[in-house]
Amino acid sequence: MSRLNYHHLYYFWQVAKQGNLTQTAQKLHISQSALSSQIKQLEQSLNVQLFIRKGRSLALTESGYHALSYADEIFKNGEELETLLTSGKALPGATIRIGILSTISRNFIEQFIQPLINQNDCRYTLQSMSQTGLLTALGELQLDMALTNIPVRGSNKQNWQSRVLARQSVAIIGPPGLELGQDLTNGYRQQRWVLPYGENPLRSAFDAFAAQYQLQPEIIAESDDMAMLRLLTRDTGALAVMPEVVVKDELDQGMLKSYMLLPNVYENFYAVTVKRRVVHPKLDMLIRPLR
């Protein structure tokens, strides 16, 4: 059993914020001696000194500063818990927990969380994991939402709520200055390629498109990670197949060029949630159509 008495910790927390024993005792409507006794008991139970006296005020020791940091978090979480249980609503400043598919475009993620970046009253966590990990964490209420580019379908055990945030055209991207047209002509046959790996739907679409034009690409690298494809495209001089958002910065700076869009080929980005009683109040602001 923990030796920490949270009643004593609360009194310490109040004195540490106030810096004055007398004023804190008046605020809490208890005697100064009783308040001092509570803090002494906390110090004795933890075998540390939390305060040193400086004139008429109290100053925190190093242990006191550590204790104050944890106490701030403990009682902030306690207030959030009380609000959540009594009203059924999370506080707007509560941490938003976002899971992201490990292979998804980082540029898209940054675009998605832009409203959070522009605000100072909300914390958020980004956890990268597999699709299975995302759905498990959602089902166990460890995440408020998940971002993925893989469609999610409900089952008898779980009713996922999946919303399309954006639909990105898929392009052939490469270094600038190549003489390439709007169809897979001979110019494309002379190039090297880096492509999505495995059963990625973008790879399947490209393979079908290449077969239509009898193109047998010289593949020098494959990856299921868009961030890795971005680096390979930038540094190898090869052509790649990906949504333009993945290499937005390189396209804006002229380091890469988009040569053609694959007809009727798109990558969808989804926000996935699960039905729950308590929903973070800022989720509606995030789950919005993106350009």
> What CATH number did the domain enclosing 34 receive?
1.10.10.10
Instruction: Clarify whether residues 262 and 280 are in a common domain.
Output: no
> What CATH number did the domain enclosing 255 receive?
3.40.190.290
Q: Which of 57, 87, 117 is the last residue of a domain?
A: 87
Distance (Å, whole) CA 24 – CA 19:
8
247 burial via Cβ count (<10 Å: 0-12, 13-18, 19+): buried
Helices 32-46 & 6-18, crossing angle to 10 degrees? 120
Instruction: Clarify whether residues 204 and 228 are in a common domain.
Output: yes
Count of the separate structural domains present in the chain:
3
Strand 124-129 to strand 96-101: parallel, antiparallel, or no bridges (unpaired)? parallel
Percentage of the chain beyond pLDDT 90 is 24
**pLDDT at site 223:** 92
Q: Are the CB atoms for 125 and 96 separated by under 8 Å?
A: yes
Instruction: Clarify whether residues 17 and 70 are in a common domain.
Output: yes
Parent domain of 135: 96-166+270-286
pLDDT one-digit tens code per residue, 99-148? 999 888 888 898 888 888 887 777 889 999 999 999 988 888 788 899 99
pTM comes to: 0.62
In DSSP terms, 189 is beta-bridged to: none
Q: Kindly state whether residue 291 falls inside one of the protein's structural domains.
A: no
Instruction: Clarify whether residues 110 and 236 are in a common domain.
Output: no
63 burial via Cβ count (<10 Å: 0-12, 13-18, 19+): middle
Number of Cβ atoms within 10 Å of the Cβ of 139: 13
Q: Kindly state whether residue 199 falls inside one of the protein's structural domains.
A: yes
Instruction: Clarify whether residues 131 and 216 are in a common domain.
Output: no
Instruction: Clarify whether residues 115 and 182 are in a common domain.
Output: no
Q: Kindly state whether residue 1 falls inside one of the protein's structural domains.
A: no
Instruction: Clarify whether residues 172 and 160 are in a common domain.
Output: no
pLDDT one-digit tens code per residue, 180-239? 888 777 788 889 999 998 778 888 889 998 888 888 899 999 998 888 999 999 999 999
Q: Which of 221, 248, 253 is nearest to 237 (CA)?
A: 221
Question: 80-84, 145-149, 173-177, 241-245 — which is least confidently predicted?
Answer: 80-84
Distances (CA, A) of 42 to 50, 70, 202, 245: 9, 14, 61, 55
Instruction: Clarify whether residues 146 and 177 are in a common domain.
Output: no
SS3 label, residue 191: coil
Categorize the per-residue pLDDT at 176 as very low, low, confident or very high, splitting at 50, 70 and 90. very high
Q: Which of 87, 112, 137 is the last residue of a domain?
A: 87
